[in-house]
Structure 1
Amino acid sequence: MKRAYNFNAGPSALPLPVLEKAQAEFINYNSTGMSVMELSHRSKDFEQILENAKNLLKELLDIPDTYEILFLQGGASLQFSMVPMNFLGTDQTAAYALTGSWSEKALKEAKKEGKTAVAASTSEGKYRSIPKQADIILPEEDIAYLHITSNNTIYGTQWHEYPSFEGVDLIADMSSDILCKKIDINQFSLIYAGAQKNLGPSGVTLVILKKELLDRIPDNLPTMLDYRTHVKNNSLYHTPPTFGIYMLSLVLEWVKEQGGVDAIQKHNEHKASLLYECMELYPDFYRPHADKDSRSIMNVTFTLPNEELTKSFLQQAKEKGFVGLAGHRSVGGCRASIYNAVPLEACEALASFMKEFRQANVTVSEI
């Protein structure tokens, strides 16, 4: 069977070896005579899956024992509310760096819970860039935390250096770039990420948080929206997304087999360079949305000279087996989401097609 060149923004490509292993174990996991989806979440077999996932995350991201690892539901969108509900005190201000639609949504939810401030924003430049440290102005009030969105899928921008302020907790939505590159986990007080980009299928949300944060949580929260509930119960307070966690553990095993995050980062940078080089080679035909120093290695966004060429590009790409290349409706143009599981061959094929399409249409674009 020929696999599609899957550039979907999410849910996105999963590693083929992971899918094949899941297929082989689908109806009989670990000689239980049951699918993972049929296992009790209280069973030893599933507890082993859960612990394996946690241990692999600790190893791959070098997470110290001062952090908790949780597997929740509700996606990053629920975290937009849970974070301020748990950590935005009555007399505090939560600071947000706006770099795209998802950070805007996070801020919107935080405003419902307490006082907020925009510490930086690149909206006036149509979110083409990431703020520098010097661009971030923190409020003078008692700061609960600084929130960033580490990668912006719609606009194709990514933080390459994270902001750091003494005594200020940094919280990051890493849904679309976690595990794509090496990070220093100690820079962050809390990281959350929907799984459907680099971690596994949709339905699981990873949360990594410093244990010391738990002391700040008020006692009047709904049980399910209190991080302490899930810490005390090892993410098993209620029935978790068992199959999703199983798939996540297989993806983590695959990352380890590739050589870990360092090897994955080199692979991702090479994939991205193939596409950005096309834009450098043909700057009047393929125009990147993001400024060069803010370009994402996960989401490559670009436009063509006109709408007619864009439609033709997307149609011909579809006929050649490329999936998910249309840009987000708010930006238009094209977007190639090249998450960890997107193979090098797919990016090579896309780069080749981009060159061929430009050659065939350069006269049209110049008219």
Structure 2
Amino acid sequence: MPSREEVAYFGAGPAPLPTPVLEQGAKAFLNYENTGLGLAEISHRSPTANKILADTRAGLTTLLDIPSNYDILFMHGGGSGEFSAVVFNMVAVWVENRRRRAESELNGDSDKILERVRQEVRRDLRLDYLVTGSWSLKASQEAASLLEPIGKDLVNIALDARKDNGGKFGSIPPEENWKLSPRQRGQGIESAFVYYCDNETVDGVEFPSFPKSLDPGLQDELEKPLVVADMSSNFLSRRVDVSKYAVIFGGAQKNIGITDVTLVIVRKDILSTIPPPSFLHALGIWSPPAILNWAVVAKNNSLYNTMPIFSIWIAGQVMKSLLAFHGDSKLAGQEELSNAKAKIIYDILDANSSTYQVVPHTSVRSRMNICFRVCKGDAAIEKEFLDGAESRMLQGLKGHRSVGGIRISNYNAVSMTNVEKLAEYLKDFAKKH
């Protein structure tokens, strides 16, 4: 039986965790701080649980320099649950803004307000999605499904990266080619939000930086878009200017912790811009279910229902370890380390291009999920590659079932030592092929 030190794991999620965090977690799971109870047993409404929530929020706030006008929520459902939550909550925000505008202009006439907003929903509401990989595609499909009862053309695919890449994901076309909805208020069609996935786990595509066309600092006050980003698979791997986003979310099981908890960073004004459920229902729109309602979750300190306190504690410990390791540099230090690990791997792949073919274009290569084919996708040779890796205790390298090939997931807890072990294998295998 191999020891933990002998195994180098590169799985896409659940992903490896820092060994010290796991060791602390094993103790806490059995007996937390000598209370005689494990963390999975304590009340989620106890002072201990509330302190864990507060400590984890504080760690995330410090790492990301989160401004005071944002709230941090802990939720169920993973990234897929947030596909729905984003639609429910952000459409409600769009409706409430229109309702308030109509209320001020129609002297509070409730019937006229309802009819005007009903017409505006059908005529003007749009949800912009930048589809650059499998997860943003699924998010857009979920949005279309949820909104189908009120309209079939409300989801605007402002970018489908496959159209410029032979029908496959692997590139991000220039921003001037994106077809974003107008954002000038009072000019008809108005985007409720712009949604993108910062790092596509399946396809190995990562946005190199925040899109300039969405940057609120470069636009007129009335044109500032509400940007929603799924950062599930590159969360805490680089610096992020949170102030440019309305919402950031991420499942914990890649860079933050274990499954069962999803982190949502949401601007507080979003939480206070929700119409009465009866008004949404009169428009034929579902109000956000309580379990996905950001305002409800925030009001209840993320304890509207029983939260997995152990999972939140693990996330907090991961954040604590990052702060301890990088000190004042915080995520700048982790970004430098992530870049260095990715460069080692990509340099070897590029130097042996007859053996390895990287899937995404150079400009959008993910630092977190490195996707490539071996000998142009030869099934027998790719199996040989995976078998050889397993024999060296290099595990979790098989590509996603939907695309095949090889995928090296280079998350924060993947050590430089294990990257170097993999690099040696990549070189040795290339010599034979």
Residue identity matched to 1:105:
K
Q: Deviations over 1:202-234 (max 9, x none)?
A: 110000000111233333223222111101011
Change in CA separation of 1:210 and 1:43 when aligned onto 2, cut-off 3 Å: same
- The residue number in structure 2 matching 1:45 is 48
CA-CA distance at 1:190 after TM superposition? 0.2
2:260 counterpart of 1:214? no
Match of 2:339 in 1: 269
Map of 2:320 onto structure 1: 253
Q: Which residue of 1 aligns with 2:70?
A: 67
1:182-205 per-residue CA deviation (whole Å, 9 max, x = no partner) reads 111111110010000001001100
Give the match for residue 253 of structure 2: 196
Deviation for aligned residue 1:113: 3.3
The 5 A counterparts of 1:135-150 are 135-140=177-182, 141-150=189-198
| Counterpart residue type for residue 160 of structure 2 | S
Match of 2:171 in 1: 129
| Residue in structure 1 matched with residue 242 of structure 2 by the alignment | 185
Q: Is the 8 A contact 1:86 1:218 kept in 2?
A: no
Question: How far apart are 1:309 and its partner, in Å?
Answer: 1.1
The structure with more helix, counted as a fraction of residues = 2
Show the counterpart of 1:233.
300
Aligned counterpart in structure 1 of residue 410 of structure 2, from 335, 338, 342: 338
Number of residue-to-residue matches in the alignment: 361
SS at match of 2:313: helix
CA contact (8 A) 1:217 1:226 kept: no
2:209 paired residue among 145, 161, 165:
161
Aligned residue among 56, 59, 62 for 1:56? 59
Which residue number in structure 2 is paired with residue 281 of structure 1? 351
Shift of the alpha carbon at 1:257?
1.2
Which deviates the most, 304-313 or 85-94? 85-94
Q: Give the aligned residue type for 2:296.
A: T
The 5 A counterparts of 1:68-107 are: 68-88=71-91, 89=95, 90=121, 91-107=124-140
The whole-number CA distance in structure 2 between the counterparts of 1:200 and 1:10 is: 10
Conserved? CA contact 2:367–2:410, under 8 Å: yes
The one-letter code sitting in structure 2 at the alignment partner of 1:328 is H
Tell me how far 1:27 sits from its aligned partner.
1.8
Distance 1:359 1:237, change over 3 A: same
> 1:193·1:205 contact (CA, 8 Å) conserved in 2?
yes
Contact 2:272–2:295 (CA under 8 A) maintained in structure 1: no
Deviation at 1:127, TM superposition (A): 1.1
**Structure 2: gaps of 5 or more residues:** 96-120, 148-153, 183-188, 278-286
Larger Rg: 2
The CA distance in 2 between the partners of 1:48 and 1:215, in whole Å, is 25
Secondary structure of residue in 2 paired with 1:196 = coil
Cα displacement (A) at 1:29: 1.0
SS in 2 for 1:171: strand
Task: Measure the CA separation in 2 of the matches of 1:191 and 1:73.
Answer: 15
Offset, 1:289: 0.4
Counterpart of 2:228 in structure 1 is 171
* Distance in 2 (alpha carbons) for counterparts of 1:101 and 1:218: 32
Measured on the aligned residues, the alpha-carbon RMSD in Å equals 1.3
CA distance in structure 2 between the partners assigned to 1:323 and 1:201 by the alignment? 18
How far has the Cα of 1:131 moved from its partner? 3.6
Tell me, which stretches of 5 or more residues in structure 1 are unaligned?
A: 363-367
- Report the Cα distance in structure 1 between the residues aligned to 2:197 and 2:313, rounded to whole angstroms: 26
Aligned twin of 1:151 = 199
Q: Tell me the SS of whatever aligns to 1:50.
A: helix
* Percent of pairs with identical residues: 36
Q: Which TM-score applies when normalising by structure 2?
A: 0.81
